[in-house]
Structure 1
Amino acid sequence: MARVSQEHLDARRRQIMDGAALCFARNGFHATSMQDVLKEVGLSAGAVYRYFGGKEELIHAIVTEVLDEVRTVYEDAAGQTPPPPPHELLGKVLGDVHGLRPGLVADGAPVFARLMVQVWTETLRDPRLAQVIQEGFGKVHAAWVRIVEAYREAGMIRADADPAAVATTLIAAAQGFIAQQAIFGSVPLDALERGVRDLTGMGEVSG
């Protein structure tokens, strides 16, 4: 019997996650059944359940992937001296998250924007998902705190700036932008970049 390559396994897992993301973004978590996911990806139940035990596992996998992508960008930035200004970092993170699957759009809005708004609501009833989000937020916040501390040391912001408060505010800006995209459709990313640049007074919008 031929051995299935890791590349094939990864591609199949990707196919399932993308199909599930589209289903969830279109109809919400509760109105989407595993049968809907099977139909979307064109696979048998056995093929899908080999990777995921059900909807909750799919949701958690999608959320974890996005949070890991965000955390990696910020942690890499925290290691630079000095780090890129906030508008560049926020633009890169949101661009990278949407760029994970650029073709995934539901009702004119990026799939991940619609998913994240649903996820925030779902945390009110799913303690395990709430824990995933809280842990992910904690790591992202910690990375932002290190970035803001580096800004302060480089003289890029006020010497008495509160790194934790600035980190919370910048994360909130990204979350608010995601909510706008989910509710109002495709809001230009450069609008967020220009707004954060003009508010902070740090540099020009790149590109």
Structure 2
Amino acid sequence: MARVSQEHLDARRRQILDGAARCFARNGFHGTSMQDVLKEVGLSAGAVYRYFPGKDDIIAAITEETFGVIRGAFEEAARMTPPPTPDALLARVLGGVLAGQVHGLERRTFAALVVQLWSETLRDRRLAALLDDGYAAMRGVWAHLVDAYRSAGILASDVPSDHVARTMIATAQGFIVQEALFGDVRPDVLEGGLRGLMAMKTQKTG
């Protein structure tokens, strides 16, 4: 019997994850059964269970991959020299991630899937651990960027790196939530809004 190539195995796994992601995006995790996933991907139960023992394992794989895509995009941008300022970086990365049709999903559908994944981490310890790891990595990326901003002389030295990291992650999360809920959240609007806030001058008192 001929051995199945790794390329074939990877393609089959991709087929399952993308099909399951479409189901979850349409009906939610708890409104989607394994039968729904099997129908979507057009495979037998045995073929799917060869890769994933159950629905929770598929959800975990999608969670890890999705968070990895977002984190990887920020890490790639952070390696640019000089690094883009936060307004340009966030617009560039989030616009690219949402336009990239991860799992074959349109941008608003993908954003909705991400929000569902975040919600699911509140009840699933395994997913929560994946989110915690991703969040810690993102904070590390932004801390590195803050150091680069300081070296370039465009950020005050008395601003804690972690404060900036948490704020920019929250901005990215808010952008994704807005896209999921309302759609048509353009990266240029995010960039322009952040640039305006960054240019504000504090009023002197006394």
Give the percent of matched residue pairs that are identical in Structure 1 and Structure 2: 59
Q: Unaligned regions of 5+ residues in structure 2, if any? A: 200-206
1:160 corresponds to which residue? 158
What's the CA shift for 1:6? 1.7
Kept in 1, the 8 Å contact 2:17–2:103? The answer is: no
Aligned equivalents of 2:124, 2:103: Cα separation in 1:
28
2:11 aligned with 1:5: no
Aligned equivalents of 1:53, 1:200: Cα separation in 2:
49
Aligned equivalents of 1:88, 1:125: Cα separation in 2:
35
Q: Matched residue of 1:110: which SS?
A: helix
Q: CA RMSD in A?
A: 1.9
Equivalent residues, number? 198
Aligned equivalents of 1:68, 1:167: Cα separation in 2:
17
Q: 1:194 to 1:103 in 2, by over 3 A?
A: farther
Kept in 1, the 8 Å contact 2:20–2:37? The answer is: yes
1:200 corresponds to which residue? 198
Q: 1:147 to 1:13 in 2, by over 3 A?
A: same
- Please show how residues 8-27 of structure 1 align to structure 2 within 5 Å: 8-27=8-27
Q: Unaligned regions of 5+ residues in structure 1, if any? A: 202-207
1:180 corresponds to which residue? 178
1:125 corresponds to which residue? 123
- Please show how residues 1-207 of structure 1 align to structure 2 within 5 Å: 1-98=1-98, 99-101=100-102, 103-105=104-106, 110-201=108-199
How does the TM-score come out when normalised to structure 1? 0.87
What's the CA shift for 1:103? 4.3
How does the TM-score come out when normalised to structure 2? 0.87
Amino acid at match of 1:29: F
Aligned equivalents of 2:21, 2:70: Cα separation in 1:
18
Q: Matched residue of 1:198: which SS?
A: helix
Kept in 2, the 8 Å contact 1:21–1:111? The answer is: no
- Higher Cα Rg, which structure: 2
Aligned equivalents of 1:87, 1:2: Cα separation in 2:
53
- CA deviations on 1:84-140 (whole Å, 9 max, x unpaired) are 2223322333234331537413xxx62321112112221221111111101110111
